[in-house]
Structure formats: structure tokens, C-alpha cells
Amino acid sequence: MYILINNSSLVTFARFADTTCPLVLSHNVLLEFLKKTEIVRLRSEDGTAIGDAIALAAARLKNAEEELQQRRARFIEDSEQANNERESGFKIKSKVIILLTDGINNAGQYDPIRTAELAKEWGIKIYSIGIGSAQAYTTIQTPLGTYKMPTGQNLDEGLLKTIAERTGGFYGRADDAETLVKIVKKINDLEKTEVKSVQYAQYSEHFGQWTLAALLILALEILARCTVFRKIP
């Protein structure tokens, strides 16, 4: 299985790249999608399309930045801040893709190096992580039973290093869970950014009908003073 995570979104890929989880604010939601992710079962879907996965993840980050820019402009369209932002442009300070794979690029339409260069143009940094072990093996089924056969190294570390270096990230090799946690922690420490949030409150007034009823009662009270229902001194 090959997994690529970009910010708060999840893209999984084998022969084809798919958005498993769209951009979300909660990492807990992302983890729930990750728990339900399964390896491909059909040979026709097997493969490793690293280039396609990078292209899809990078496009989502770029689109997210453009959507945020348009949304902010709509909210503060008439303010001085909006004019300043239109001049300087709204940018997401840290756009990061974390690429995890245990294979070599052997499928897909897009070249991984080309998509990495495109990600760099869009201001996206890629951290690549190779998952593997020298003790890797595969399970085969024979008439005499199930056997484990050692396999050779099936990880293109040169490609992963190049992808990371060209975008300003780094490559890390994780042969076990403990090493993977250390690599992710290092990325987290490097990408900590001060975040400024802007909140908008929309109010919907519902007192109009009650105000109209009150005015009607007041008018009736004034009219009553001019009739037999007027107050007796």
C-alpha cells in the first residue's frame, strides 16, 4: 500500500491516485479515513503512481489557496484590508506534502520529477519517506503449504531523495515504526507556523414581526382612547 498525505487531506495511490479524504480541519477525521484504507486486491489496480499522486495532492493545495483567497476577498471586499490583500496577494505560508511509499514508480501518466518541479513552482514542499526493510519478504501459497520468501529491495531511494531536495524538503528512510515516528516529528518541528485566524459572525434578525405586532397593539390602544373604551379620569 502507498499513502500520500497533504496537510489535512489524504491521497492514496497504487496504479491510480485517489483522494481518500478531502481537505479537513480536524486530524481526527483524517485518521478515521486512514484506518479504513485497504491495500488493492485486483492485479489490474496494482502499481505505484508516485507522479500522479504528487500531481493530485499539489493541485488540491493550490486550489485550496485560491479558494481561501477568494473567500477572504468576499468577506472583506469593501474594507481597506481587502485592498491591501488584493495588492499583496493571499498566500498559505506553509504548504507541505508528506509522501510515503515502499515501491518504485511504475505506473501513472505523470513523471514524478516533473510533478515535483511543478509543486516547487506552487510553493509546495515535499518530504518523502521510504518504507522498507532489508528483511522484507513475500508470502507464497504452494500445494505443500504457505511459505515466506525473502524479497530484494524494492524502493527507489534515489528518486525519493531527488523529489524532496528539489522542493526544499528531505528524504527519510523508515525501516520500523519507531523511526517513522521520529521522521514525522522532525517534519512537524520544521513546519510549525504561527496561524492567524479570522472569524466572521453573521446575524439574522427575527424581531421584525414582533415589532409590527407591538406597533399594532399600540395603535389600537391610542384609538381606544378616542372611543367609549377611553380611560375614565
What does the pLDDT read at residue 182? Answer: 92
Q: Identify whether the C-beta of residue 11 lies closer than 8 Å to the C-beta of residue 18.
A: yes
At 102 the three-state DSSP class reads coil
Nine-digit cell at 198? 479570522
What does the pLDDT read at residue 162? Answer: 94
- Report pTM: 0.64
CATH 3.40.50.410 fits 3-190, yes or no: yes
What does the pLDDT read at residue 2? Answer: 42
Per-10-residue mean pLDDT, the chain, length 233: 55 85 76 78 82 90 77 62 49 81 88 93 92 62 67 78 93 90 89 54 66 83 70 54
- Which residues on neighbouring strands pair with residue 147, listed in sequence order? 140
User: Could you tell me what percentage of the chain is helix, strand and coil, using 3-state DSSP and rounding each to the nearest 5?
Assistant: 40, 20, 40
Beta-carbon neighbour count of residue 104 at 10 Å?
16
Q: In what order do the strands lie in the sheet with 3-6?
A: 17-21, 9-13, 3-6, 95-101, 124-131, 171-174
